[in-house]
Structure 1
């Protein structure tokens, strides 16, 4: 199994969870720009606009992180895939976090990857669960196309809680590194699944990670990264277990 190069060549990695999200609005360009002053790897989330553009956002609706109600008061639905990119670009994605910040609009995946390519930054792209959206069957193909067009295939690892997306990557896009996201673990089948689909990394919640599991996966060349870890002592403990990286809102 070929490892994701950034994991292979580095230890005790702090991965900026949605950018530097403790100090700046998550998944915005300012959060990414500030994060890379502290780390060489960021994490972001991807969904799709109504006109099939991959955009960087965590939630499946716009309510929490934008002023959608103010700009589009007559829209009945605030789901991402009900808005075109042009409509999404009209929204304010920073004031909910800090009204004194310069306006931040939504970013496309292409925009962020182009920035990361220039800055030599590594990226964990999480594909959101799009099972109920029109883009469920198209998501992996579209995202890989953007990665390849941005010449970022060696600097990206793609993760998802949706096993179908990971299986698609293994079947059709073997040049893309993969991580399986997990919050509930069945250790009996986990290793079998990871090995069967040539998955390079296991990204799990802090609530379920165990030192024995981390060590067992390492024997098979599979790295473990843990989310979301904001306590410094806990970070140190996880690194001592052999955890490769932690997703964190707080970068030191």
Structure 2
């Protein structure tokens, strides 16, 4: 174990009472020296989450990084939606009243395309659709945005990692520039993250959650980031993450979620996180610029 790893691990176990900074620069997500702001499911406080409208809103507000969730339909089409059911963010119960429990995996892409994924958020977004991942990538590319992509519920969709990477490749997102600067693939499933890394080692990956410091060496073999809820981290824990080198020879990073107010944004910036995932990117940007 490196000396900086041992020291940072001790700090984490002490609840952040001691801060040992890593010997390598932490903020390599953007190279800016400060936390990057990532629009969670697009600018989801201002437009319906995971829709094209939400990433367009983030673009209009001047935010380059967006985050999304990927699942798969019954006929094998990748779509962008957070829940494994369609009920919360679409009118599926009205359109298909006899199809309970309305799981994404039980509907074809054509059936999902019929749904209204915007009216729940507000009348002005009536008629917005659940986008396919192909449609979503076309829009992100058009907007010159960068993407944190979550593979959601991979246990429901065997082979989704390979399928996702194939689509990304076809969309031009696995070239050197995108791999270096514009793409992160994450999941709550360590097995899914490992699969992505094994299939395409050049892809920057992230494990969602707050694993113990003792488990970090194993995860650092195949993930570049540990992306944790802001309520579960401390200065010491972030220092412990930064003390380990990931599979590309750089210190592990942390993007923390879901930070939506000024106080929380300033608190996690004080922890030295690399990025903040937020529904309200404008609020976080103001908080960090004045910090």
TM-score (norm 2): 0.79
CA distance 1:118–1:248, change in 2 (3 Å): same
The one of 154, 168, 192 equivalent to 1:147 is 168
Q: Give the distance between the partners of 1:40 and 1:77, measured in 2 at CA.
A: 36
The one of 219, 224, 227 equivalent to 1:194 is 219
Is the contact made by 2:52 and 2:139 (CA closer than 8 Å) also made in structure 1? no
Match of 1:110 in 2: 134
TM-score (norm 1): 0.91
Alpha-carbon offset, residue 229 of structure 1: 0.4
Alpha-carbon offset, residue 148 of structure 1: 0.9
User: Which structure has the larger Rg?
Assistant: 2
Q: Give the distance between the partners of 1:210 and 1:150, measured in 2 at CA.
A: 38
**Alignment length (residue pairs):** 243
Is the contact made by 1:185 and 1:208 (CA closer than 8 Å) also made in structure 2? no
Q: Which runs of structure 1 show a deviation greater than 6 angstroms over 4 or more consecutive aligned residues?
A: none
Q: Over the residues paired in the alignment, what is the CA RMSD in angstroms?
A: 1.7
Deviations 1:175-211 (A, max 9, x none): 21100000x432211x2123222x1111001121111
Is the contact made by 2:188 and 2:208 (CA closer than 8 Å) also made in structure 1? yes
Are 2:276 and 1:249 aligned? no
Alpha-carbon offset, residue 232 of structure 1: 1.3
Is the contact made by 2:230 and 2:268 (CA closer than 8 Å) also made in structure 1? no
Alpha-carbon offset, residue 244 of structure 1: 0.9
CA distance 1:95–1:146, change in 2 (3 Å): same
Alpha-carbon offset, residue 213 of structure 1: 1.9
CA distance 1:218–1:18, change in 2 (3 Å): same
Match of 2:11 in 1: none
Is the contact made by 2:38 and 2:67 (CA closer than 8 Å) also made in structure 1? yes
Are 2:159 and 1:138 aligned? yes
Greater share of strand residues, 1 or 2? 1
Residue ranges of structure 2 left out of the alignment (5+ in a row) = 1-24, 245-250, 283-291
Q: Give the distance between the partners of 2:140 and 2:273, measured in 1 at CA.
A: 25
SS where residue 123 of structure 2 aligns? coil
